[in-house]
Structure 1
């Protein structure tokens, strides 16, 4: 089961009478941009309270955010508590027993020598299917008195250098942000009653490892173990070690209140938002109850990377584990995950972060939003180098240094092919997902009223790119940069990864219209009259959505034209979600409903797994039965030991965009907002009783209780927002 806090995640389990857990922390990327674990910890207690036949219980204390393991027989009763400090990068293990016991704690590392990654293993790196050799360099592990120090420091040459050279950016290399340079990560394991006990070796699952051991000095009723973790782009190893010592000093100074403060954080986390369904039965046989329970479990996993420097990864977050238990065809080390470690796929990442608005988890959003803001200089620089015009070119699959993924860029590129483009059938011209991040920033302002001035350069640069680039392309094709209506010709483009070589793709049109309109709606303090006039002119140049007749009904077209179809998305409904041009209480809802019901491309591509967002579409269209049925499919128990470890679907386990899209759908079934309007129960089934607390725009909190389809209690804060609540018609 998962356990974590701050930006640290653990997988905790008991096997053969021993407690094991993996260590993972946000921001650990090696030379190949693989996202490795920091190691594995194994605890052996003697006498062993977890032997066969003894009483045993392992519980995730969700409200307090820790794992409790109890066992024993006869007069021996032992409790082990595993928790992570939310405010400092420290993992704590506390052992309490009714009888004196001994503890042996092993730090296990499988990266003990340089090793060439197997072809399939490279899919966890930025090299993916490239035939280039990928060496995983060893970690350094050593005893320091009675402590165990472990770390990895990246070599001077990394996949960043390889990518910059590949993508013709050598002349500006010194201007590019390089997060892999001097990156050092690791930590120290120690315990106040523990002494160095030597090494041993073994094999777990598919990976050989070396164990570095501590043991208790004497038997005792209580034992403690700490792992202090540190990640930094330190100029020298000495500097990194000094930073680690500072973490230890700060943790020691605050240890008296650390657990209490962490519990307090988790309690307020659960208090600020929740969705509880059919709790009166609380039966795992009840599909709706599973939806509510797993909504909460997944939100816990999101809370474990509240304050990471990097976004929660869609393909496993902090909680990946031995891949052979995901699929037998992955006989690799615990570091493995499909679709890369330092590569962030925007179509997937967005679904992890959209639910945080209505759950009120605004403090969890900066890792995703700052990721784009931090990489803005790199995105603008590549636009300038390739096309000599302004604007930020963010590609769909983006490295943590802001460039396209090395393998996805195209490894067999034709001579003379535009170096700014990915030679990739799926990703070519796929830039518009950055507009969704822009909308997320604008929604953050609308929900919280917080100042988003630091993000304005990002928003402006993203819309500016489309306005500039498509005039640039049209100017290269002919004498006119706009069509006969004065609109941009958004060609070549793409409607997600499905409708390729598209003209005026629906997601791009909807994204530009929505983001520019919302920029113009910002309070006057955000922009000068001149800047607003520029936004208004830009908005006038955005083309309109295209439509087509399907089975005798008017529907939203995925684009004006396209040349091929190749994936399974439904981008013709992106004007519904995320861009909200259609929905409950908005004009022409029937056209969007027709698109879901009668568009044969949409029907063919319906799916509930992974990143598919059919449940969200149906909720926003008021299709209650369909929304409920797909939500049950999406948020039912995963079939793995932890109910919210979904996948692999299209991605990996645990699939975080699977859980995120499930959360969004539940929220939209309960509450939809349109500026100041708040629609309650727009797609809520009559037989789903619920208690909920959700957040709405303008610093509004809505909580209530639904029984048999009726809202029997409602509280709105502030009270004056009660007038903006709209209930379903009887």
Structure 2
């Protein structure tokens, strides 16, 4: 049993804000890396990218990680994902040769059935599928004995190509979701003319609340409409689709078929979600959508689609060499980034518990002891609510990846939630400010959580607005987007700071007293929890450092006043070594989860790390942490990398990026863990950890190879704050071919391998 002694650590480096900001200056000797030659200026590659870089031939590098199968189906568990950021598909081929895919959309929010007993599914809406589509060809080459089959996901162009049969019987099916328009396209090509049939297979027709319009001229149109007794935030939502194609004629209300056999056929599917419109207006809007997009020349649309994805892949990359684990880790990183991009540009953030790629399962078991049952693809454990601690994992790595557009749905959701949460705080507590609940539907909302309310997992849990503010501050530093800072960052961060300032009292020394306050889900209603103290220190110091045109002197003075009232982080001893503690006072609170809240001071709030004071204190804390589980939502891969612990970081990252769900075929559909498959926070934490092993930033300082294994080589391009990109190679433990854009940022580079 370890002995624990509680110590009051002086807050010497944080007692003055301006001094606190200076701790970001280098402790490591600053080594300026010089390279021969010059930076080649070329055109910008993709949204959020910079204007000067060395363009790499990304296609051949990606081709090595295309996913290819030579055996069909038989079910959605053997599906490949694709999508355009809002519309997502799970694509597979059944043994009879039929191409099938589930259609999802980031805003297809339905309501739970009246008899639903699962409280998590009842509260927060259900992110439903739009339906399932089946494409058949006749004659079908896969029905021949020994017929060849191949299904391949081509990452660079984001298309799925299916080849069935050979020679005169060969048929090719190509599936892609247009990156620039809300349309799914399926193209068939065959050596000889074939009949193509497309069928809507929707399990919710009738009792499930979906409607198929009858006798539509050469098209299939269907929709789901939430009922009038649904939650007001879900009421009035209609989502569905329209299927059509030149040469396709109506066979029945759910089926279209070629009017005559042909060697080529195009099927177009147009999904649409509306809110507040009648079903008649929804039909008018989707008909207009189909008419306008349908007029686009196919090859022009294809080239624009491919160009978008080429630009996307040029934003950043990491390709590792060295051993089999290096290759499989690269595959996991590339595919996770791809899956995130397929779902990351829609109306709402990515769901940690399956994204828009959940599938049906005829043998689902909630746990090893429960009886198996059949579930459809609308089901996901933990329902439709957003957990900030889980959701963040997919969004932190978007910064270094340069996928800034994918962060906006997260920020916009909380921006829309803010006004009502502010009103509730005023109503409940009679003061200003706001916070975000740890678990929240997309429309937000709070429960009253006064000090007399019984403790629970997420009741007195106020941390999310601090972490979101930290992420938004990073987004601003990376992009320089002042409009975002004024309209999104500052309203949210200011409301959060005001809440903490006015909601909690002060102790005898005039310091902020956070009590009662959860130390995340781990310790309930404790005294001065470390995550909130760390978050307040980190966020307020950065707010004060913002340009004067974003925050005036009076506002900054008030922030500084509050900053100087913050308590120190709790520190104690374990085995004779100083360590951070999860909360202040005797460490007697019952642990409720499998978390290490004391390490929030490392990540996400970055008060400790390479080149910062008291690094050994943070390393001691990491080494004696209670929970060392791998995968899912654990933060250990990022925290280990930020502390320069290479072996630990490598072990956690490689585990996360190879942790495939055994019941699913796609190699980056991650295991259920504590969540639901595919487990997106598992992949996001792997991404983030790998990036932090290669590159970290501290103010303007760019730290290279802070936790990189000596046996791994790499080619990489990552993004850094102040509109900077860092591109280079790692060989034999050394950086080569380094290009920093803009070149003036070369003076800020620290190569850890040379320091050590």
TM range (shorter): 0.7 to 0.9
Tell whether 2:138 aligns with 1:46: yes
Contact persistence 2:631–2:659 (CA under 8 A): no
Query: Retained in 1: the 8 A contact 2:249–2:257?
Result: yes
Aligned pair in 2 of structure 1 residues 24, 523: CA closer, same or farther (>3 Å)?
Answer: same
Q: Are the equivalent residues in 1 in contact too, given 2:82–2:177 (CA < 8 A)?
A: yes
Task: Using the TM superposition, give the Cα deviation of residue 327 of structure 1 relative to its aligned residue in structure 2, in angstroms.
Answer: 4.4
The answer to whether structure 1 residue 311 and structure 2 residue 349 are counterparts is yes
Aligned with residue 450 of structure 1, among 478, 481, 490:
481
Q: How does 1:256-295 map to 2 (within 5 A)?
A: 256=298, 257-278=300-321, 286-295=324-333
Query: 1:712 & 1:421 partners in 2: Cα distance?
Result: 60
Between stretches 606-615 and 695-704, larger displacement belongs to 606-615
Asked if the contact 1:290–1:637 (Cα under 8 Å) also holds between the matched residues in 2, the reply is: no
Q: Is it true that 1:27 corresponds to 2:111 in the alignment? A: no
The structural deviation recorded for 1:139 is: 4.1
For 1:109 and 1:466, locate their aligned partners in 2 and report how far apart those are by CA, in whole Å: 48
For residues 3-32 of structure 1, the C-alpha deviation after alignment (integer angstroms, 9 at most, x for no partner) is 111311100011122111000001111133
Q: 1:391 matched to which residue of 2? A: 433
**Residue 321 of structure 1 aligns to a residue in which SS?**
coil
Cα distance in 2 between the residues matched to 1:384 and 1:333:
42
Structure 2 distance, partners of 1:88, 1:586, is 47
Q: How far apart are 1:611 and its partner, in Å?
A: 0.5
- TM-score, length-normalised on structure 2? 0.83
SS in 2 for 1:29: strand
Matches within 5 A, 1:663-682: 663-682=687-706
| Matched residue count | 648
Q: Which runs of 5+ in 1 are unaligned?
A: 115-135, 161-177, 200-211, 410-416, 472-481
Q: Cα deviation per residue 1:379-413 (whole Å; 9 max; x = unaligned)?
A: 11111121111111311001111125xxxx7xxxx
1:296 maps to which of 319, 324, 334: 334
Deviations 1:199-242 (A, max 9, x none): 6xxxxxxxxxxxx2111111100011111011111332222222
Q: Is the 1:546–1:556 contact (alpha carbons within 8 Å) kept by the matching residues of 2?
A: yes
1:352 equivalent among 390, 394, 400: 394
Partner of 1:334: 377
3-state SS of 1:586 partner: coil
Distance 1:421 1:616, change over 3 A: farther
Which residue of structure 1 aligns with residue 24 of structure 2? Answer: none
Shift of 1:307: 2.1
Establish whether residue 574 from structure 1 lines up as the match of residue 607 from structure 2.
Answer: no
Q: Secondary structure at the match of 2:601?
A: coil
1:228 is paired with a residue of what secondary structure?
A: strand
Q: Deviations over 1:493-548 (max 9, x none)?
A: 11111122211111101111111111111111101111111111121222210011
Q: Which stretch of structure 1 is more off in the superposition, 541-550 or 665-674?
A: 541-550
Contact 2:349 2:410 in 1 (8 A): yes
Tell me the residue number matched to 2:246.
192
For residue 246 of structure 1, report the CA deviation from its aligned partner: 2.6
* Structure 2 counterpart SS, 1:612: coil
- The residue number in structure 2 matching 1:519 is 543
Structure 2 CA distance for partners of 1:86 and 1:590, relative to 1, 3 Å:
same
| 2-structure distance, mates of 1:56, 1:46 | 16
Q: 1:523 to 1:681 in 2, by over 3 A?
A: same
User: Is the CA contact 2:449–2:459 (under 8 Å) kept in the aligned structure 1?
Assistant: no
Aligned to 1:125: none
- TM-score where L is the length of structure 1: 0.86
Query: Please, which moves more after superposition, 709-718 or 691-700?
Result: 709-718
Cα RMSD (Å) = 1.8
Which structure's relative contact order is higher, taking Cα pairs within 8 Å and 6+ residues apart?
2
Matched, 1:9 2:88: yes
- 1:151-192 per-residue CA deviation (whole Å, 9 max, x = no partner) reads 1122222234xxxxxxxxxxxxxxxxx3x2311111111121
C-alpha separation in 2, matches of 1:393 and 1:585? 32
Counting only pairs closer than 5 Å after superposition, residues 515-554 of structure 1 correspond to structure 2 as 515-554=539-578
Q: Is 1:84 aligned with 2:177? A: yes
Q: Compute the displacement of 1:617 (Å).
A: 1.0
Match of 1:484 in 2: 508
Q: CA deviation at 1:255?
A: 4.0
Q: Secondary structure at the match of 2:270?
A: strand
For residues 242-261 of structure 1, what are the structure 2 equivalents within 5 Å?
Answer: 242-256=284-298, 257-261=300-304
Show the 5 A alignment for 1:643-662: 643-662=667-686
8 Å CA contact 2:540–2:563 kept in 1: the answer is yes
Secondary structure at 1:223 match in 2: strand
Distance in 2 (CA, whole Å) between partners of 1:706 and 1:139 is 57
Q: Equivalents in 1 of 2:659, 2:609: separation in Å? A: 30
In structure 2, the CA distance between the partners of 1:195 and 1:717, relative to structure 1 (3 Å rule), is same
Q: The residue matched to 2:169 in structure 1 has which SS?
A: coil
The CA deviation string for residues 411-465 of structure 1, in whole angstroms up to 9 with x for no partner, is xxxxxx8589986621121121121111111101101111111011111111111
The corresponding residue for 2:469 is 438
CA offset at residue 325 of structure 1? Answer: 6.2
Contact kept? 1:43, 1:105, Cα under 8 Å: yes
Secondary structure of the residue that 1:616 maps to in structure 2?
helix
Seen in structure 2, the aligned counterparts of structure 1 residues 588 and 337 have a Cα distance that, compared at 3 Å, is: same
